[in-house]
Chain A
């Protein structure tokens, strides 16, 4: 593989690769010792790429996640619920910004990431492509979707990349309220009139399976998992996290007299786990490849919000330019 006409740094085999291999070995030894990787540290390009992909998808999910809930702010049934929902949606914007800022430490511009989202090139969590049909959906999203996100993010708070882990610690601290307010709202409806109970049961029926899909493909079909686990970006596999979420959620559903739409759901005494039925992976792949019920609507809403906010960005810039001009004139 060695081409004598190329300088060592461009050799495919030979010295450069041996050096590279030594650096990778040193990097992996640091990770194995539980050390944290910081932005200025040497890292394999593949580690950087995987993190940019994963973190930007995560940031986009926080941003797009505001849309299904934002739809209900003006229709919240009481001032208390409206206040809570406003605070939650504002948190999601903040969480998106925490993660974009962590991603930028890897040497990528936020502008570029935002552009990838707006042009439809970037992926985000499949869950946000489902519609919020009734007020009960808002409670169920807090309980299921934020609950699932917390299971995932608690693991990511120990990720090997420092800025990602620190953003997750910050997010986890704030997100517990998201789940609890959702469950409180669900419990209120479940204990309400028969119509309210039916409405929240319907929301549970619609959100359960998409929530399980949030953890991503099954381990055997997850191409990125092994590498991400070896580099300790992730500590647990998709299936392990999914099982953790199911085990947490089943008793919570029972406590408020709601059923989960899975005839195969049963408690396994031997393992202590709640075993669940087969996920419809065809639906999952349809939704992540852009054909979910709301993919187009979400992107259109996001683009509109971006365009409608242009005057604010222009004004801020004009003000800054005026300030600079004033300062130089003085």
Chain B
């Protein structure tokens, strides 16, 4: 029922513009800095995505490099996996230097 309604609405309106595929944009703000997620753009090709990313996310500031990645290519962990994936990290104190004792007075450790 709801599908029929949606279908007839689409048919009644003029053909919609495609907004093209979604690409995720990562910017590097300065030499040696990591690429960080900035947002997304719609584009027809990788080249087009790069141009749009430049216009939208690098109008000013110190961006020195851009990555664009098709959104569908990103595999993300699910919030429900957060427990099994990340919780064990909390009870492994021996992964941190504070866990270890060294004799008093020893320096450069």
Q: What separation, in Å, do the CA atoms of A94 and B58 have in the docked complex?
A: 10
Q: What are the interface flags for A298-330 relative to B under an 8 Å C-beta threshold, 1 for contact and 0 otherwise?
A: 000000001000100100110110010000000
Known: A41-B79, A90-B59, A102-B39. A319 touches B44 (CB 8 A): yes
Q: How many residues of A contact B (CB 8 A)?
A: 31
By the criterion CB–CB under 8 Å, are B17 and A98 in contact? no
Q: Which residues does chain A contribute within 8 Å of B38, judged by CB atoms?
A: 170
Checking A97, A170, A317 against B41 with a beta-carbon cut-off of 8 angstroms, the contacting residue is A97
By the criterion CB–CB under 8 Å, are B17 and A310 in contact? yes
By the criterion CB–CB under 8 Å, are A101 and B79 in contact? no
Checking A87, A170, A313 against B17 with a beta-carbon cut-off of 8 angstroms, the contacting residue is A313
Q: What separation, in Å, do the CA atoms of A7 and B41 have in the docked complex?
A: 41
By the criterion CB–CB under 8 Å, are A316 and B17 in contact? no
Q: How many residues of B contact A (CB 8 A)?
A: 23
Q: Which residues does chain B contribute within 8 Å of A97, judged by CB atoms?
A: 39, 41, 56
Checking A98, A101, A111, A170 against B18 with a beta-carbon cut-off of 8 angstroms, the contacting residue is A111
Q: What separation, in Å, do the CA atoms of A111 and B39 have in the docked complex?
A: 17
By the criterion CB–CB under 8 Å, are B59 and A101 in contact? no
Checking B59, B60, B79 against A40 with a beta-carbon cut-off of 8 angstroms, the contacting residue is B79
Q: Which residues does chain B contribute within 8 Å of A170, judged by CB atoms?
A: 38-39
Which residues between 29 and 70 of chain A lie within 8 Å of chain B, taking CB atoms? 38, 40-42
- A3 close to B (CB within 8 Å): no
By the criterion CB–CB under 8 Å, are A111 and B56 in contact? no
Which residues between 28 and 83 of chain B lie within 8 Å of chain A, taking CB atoms? 38-45, 48, 55-56, 59-60, 76, 78-79
- B13 close to A (CB within 8 Å): yes
By the criterion CB–CB under 8 Å, are B59 and A115 in contact? no
Known: A102-B39, A111-B19, A320-B48. A91 touches B59 (CB 8 A): yes
Secondary structure of the A contact surface, majority rule:
helix
By the criterion CB–CB under 8 Å, are B59 and A317 in contact? no
Q: What are the interface flags for B4-28 relative to A under an 8 Å C-beta threshold, 1 for contact and 0 otherwise?
A: 0000000001001111101000000
By the criterion CB–CB under 8 Å, are A98 and B39 in contact? yes
Q: What separation, in Å, do the CA atoms of A119 and B43 have in the docked complex?
A: 24
Known: A167-B39, A316-B48. A94 touches B59 (CB 8 A): yes
Q: What separation, in Å, do the CA atoms of A319 and B18 have in the docked complex?
A: 15
Q: What separation, in Å, do the CA atoms of A40 and B45 have in the docked complex?
A: 27
Q: Which residues does chain B contribute within 8 Å of A91, judged by CB atoms?
A: 59
- A174 close to B (CB within 8 Å): yes
Q: What are the interface flags for A100-143 relative to B under an 8 Å C-beta threshold, 1 for contact and 0 otherwise?
A: 01101000011100110001000000000000000000000000
By the criterion CB–CB under 8 Å, are B60 and A174 in contact? yes
By the criterion CB–CB under 8 Å, are A38 and B42 in contact? no
Q: How far is the CB of A59 from chain B (nearest CB, A)?
A: 12
**Chain A residue at minimal CB-CB distance from B24:** A101
Checking A94, A114, A316 against B44 with a beta-carbon cut-off of 8 angstroms, the contacting residue is A316
Q: Which residues does chain B contribute within 8 Å of A310, judged by CB atoms?
A: 17
By the criterion CB–CB under 8 Å, are B17 and A94 in contact? no
Q: What separation, in Å, do the CA atoms of A170 and B63 have in the docked complex?
A: 14
Q: Which residues does chain A contribute within 8 Å of B76, judged by CB atoms?
A: 40
Q: What separation, in Å, do the CA atoms of A101 and B19 have in the docked complex?
A: 12
Known: A94-B55, A97-B56. A104 touches B40 (CB 8 A): yes
By the criterion CB–CB under 8 Å, are A110 and B44 in contact? no
- 11 interchain pairs, CB-CB under 8 A: A94-B59, A97-B41, A97-B56, A101-B39, A104-B40, A111-B18, A115-B16, A119-B13, A170-B39, A316-B20, A317-B44
Of all A-B residue pairs in the complex, the 3 with the closest CB atoms, nearest first, are: A320-B44, A111-B19, A101-B40
With A90-B59, A94-B59 given, name 8 new contacts (CB 8 A): A114-B19, A115-B16, A119-B13, A174-B60, A306-B17, A317-B18, A319-B45, A320-B44
